[in-house]
Structure 1
Amino acid sequence: MLKGNFFRGLGYLGEGFGLIRQPGLRLFVVIPLIINILLFGLLFYFLAELFTAMIAAAMAWLPDWAWLQALDWLFWLLYGVVILLMLAYGFVIVANLIGSPFYGYLAELTEKQLTGQEVSTDDSWSAIIKDIPRALWREVQKIAYYLPRALGLFIIGLIPVVNLVAAVLWFLFNSWMMALQYVDYPADNHKVSFPALRKLLGDTRLSALGFGLPVALAAMVPVLNLFVVPAAVCGATAYWVRENGSNTQ
């Protein structure tokens, strides 16, 4: 039986957008935001041709059946949604690889603001720099978890008719991945391993899906996806404090 509260989970991203405006958190929002703007500009440059090529390749696999040709617009829409979801999470993966040391510290500051308690006593820039290799390794673990499952869903999405189910599975999977991606920052600050985090989020899966869904949708919207990453980190920290933090004490 699924546990948690889906509608409560929906509220955490909105809370995150409120938190990133707090004076004590702005610096660690602005620095990765500048990095994300540069990154997004490069990705957007290549997006149009890549999207067209992937759609054309997928459509070429369809049999030449009359009723399938009549539903040509629907398959364009379904494949478009799947590819946009892949590209959206692809952007998030690269952005988080670059900004992960900042996001870990942003989660620390957010938790301190929410609870009034210190997570770490070393808040210097040298500590952030020293933490870069470990933060990058944590991101690699998330990518290793994501890629084989994403590949399986992508292959399913290429099968006519079955891709109707694949589109729904993609939304659910990306919502789950967004929750894993961002709640991992406060969890990592508390030395919770990535496998242990998956179990913790599984214990409140409805809340996790509720949090991850709007993050996944916002990640597909140009410009908005630049701001959603730091907001999701702050929202995920609020999620951690209220949903899972007590389970690790």
Structure 2
Amino acid sequence: MLKGNFFRGLGYLGEGFRLIRQPGLRLFVVIPLVINILLFGLLFYFLAELFTAMIAAAMSWLPDWAWLQSLDWLFWILYGVVILLMLAYGFVILANLIGSPFYGYLAELTEKHLTGQVVSTDDGWSQIIRDIPRSLWREVQKILYYLPRAIGLFIIGVIPVVNLVAAVLWFVFNCWMMSLQYVDYPADNHRVSFPALRRLLGDTRLSALGFGLPVALAAMVPVLNLVVVPAAVCGATAYWVRENGPTNTDV
């Protein structure tokens, strides 16, 4: 039986957006945000070049008939959707990989704020530098967890009829992954292993899916996905404190 509260989970991202405006947290929100903007700009530039090449290639394959050549607008729409999806998911993966040391520290500051501790950033930079190897390895673990399941869902998705179910499974899986992705930051601060985190989130699966749903939707919206990452980190920390706080043990 699924446990947790789906509707309570939905509220954590909104709380995250409120938390990123707190004075003690703003610096470590602004820095990843600047990184995200630069990263988004580079991805947009390279994918725009790819987009232009795809349109040119598609038009070159068509016979030189006037009515077919006039369908270039359709290719712009179809490839535009593909590029947007590539930009959204590619951005999320890279932003989390590059910004993970900042997000781990942001989660720590957020937890102190939520639990009434003094929020101090005196040793912030030294701690971020020390945590870089561990943070990067943690991101690799998440990617290794994601890839085989994504490939399996992709294979299911090409089977007629079954692909209707696969579309729903894809969306649910993305919600689950967004929850895993961001709750992992406060969990890692408590040295909770990634397998143990999956079990903890499984114990409150409805809450986890409720939190992951708005994050997954926001990650697909250009510009909004720039600010949703730090908000999701803060919201995930609120989730950790309230849903899993009593079980914060090293596993």
Question: Please, what TM-score do these two structures have when normalized by structure 2?
Answer: 0.83
**Shift of residue 159, structure 1, vs aligned partner:** 2.9
Do the aligned partners of 2:178 and 2:216 also contact (CA within 8 Å) in 1? yes
Do the aligned partners of 1:85 and 1:170 also contact (CA within 8 Å) in 2? no
Do the aligned partners of 1:78 and 1:163 also contact (CA within 8 Å) in 2? no
Structure 1 residues 24 and 121, CA, compared in 2 at 3 Å: closer, same or farther? closer
Do the aligned partners of 2:107 and 2:185 also contact (CA within 8 Å) in 1? yes
**Greater CA drift, 120-129 or 138-147:** 120-129
Structure 1 residues 67 and 39, CA, compared in 2 at 3 Å: closer, same or farther? same
**Greater CA drift, 44-53 or 89-98:** 44-53
**Greater CA drift, 88-97 or 114-123:** 114-123
Structure 1 residues 165 and 95, CA, compared in 2 at 3 Å: closer, same or farther? same
**Shift of residue 74, structure 1, vs aligned partner:** 14
Do the aligned partners of 2:88 and 2:222 also contact (CA within 8 Å) in 1? no
- Gaps of at least 5 residues in structure 1 are none
Do the aligned partners of 1:13 and 1:231 also contact (CA within 8 Å) in 2? yes
Query: 1:180 and 1:57 mapped to 2: Cα distance?
Result: 39
Do the aligned partners of 2:105 and 2:124 also contact (CA within 8 Å) in 1? no
**Shift of residue 16, structure 1, vs aligned partner:** 0.1
Structure 1 residues 20 and 6, CA, compared in 2 at 3 Å: closer, same or farther? same
Taking only the aligned residue pairs, the percentage that are identical comes to: 91
Query: 2:155 and 2:55 mapped to 1: Cα distance?
Result: 14
**Greater CA drift, 185-194 or 53-62:** 53-62
**SS across alignment from 2:21:** coil
Structure 1 residues 76 and 204, CA, compared in 2 at 3 Å: closer, same or farther? farther
**Shift of residue 236, structure 1, vs aligned partner:** 0.1
Q: How many residue pairs align between the two structures?
A: 249
Structure 1 residues 29 and 120, CA, compared in 2 at 3 Å: closer, same or farther? closer
Do the aligned partners of 1:82 and 1:157 also contact (CA within 8 Å) in 2? no
Structure 1 residues 117 and 63, CA, compared in 2 at 3 Å: closer, same or farther? farther
**SS across alignment from 1:116:** coil
Structure 1 residues 16-51: Cα deviation after superposition (integer angstroms, max 9, x where no partner):
000001111010011111111111112223445767
Structure 1 residues 121-162: Cα deviation after superposition (integer angstroms, max 9, x where no partner):
983411211111111001000000001111111222233333
**Shift of residue 80, structure 1, vs aligned partner:** 9.2
Structure number with larger C-alpha Rg: 2
Do the aligned partners of 2:182 and 2:232 also contact (CA within 8 Å) in 1? yes
Do the aligned partners of 1:5 and 1:204 also contact (CA within 8 Å) in 2? yes
Structure 1 residues 199-218: Cα deviation after superposition (integer angstroms, max 9, x where no partner):
00000000000000100000
Q: CA RMSD in A?
A: 4.8
**SS across alignment from 2:166:** helix
- Gaps of at least 5 residues in structure 2 are none
**Shift of residue 57, structure 1, vs aligned partner:** 12
**Shift of residue 93, structure 1, vs aligned partner:** 1.3
Structure 1 residues 43 and 124, CA, compared in 2 at 3 Å: closer, same or farther? closer
Query: 2:129 and 2:44 mapped to 1: Cα distance?
Result: 29
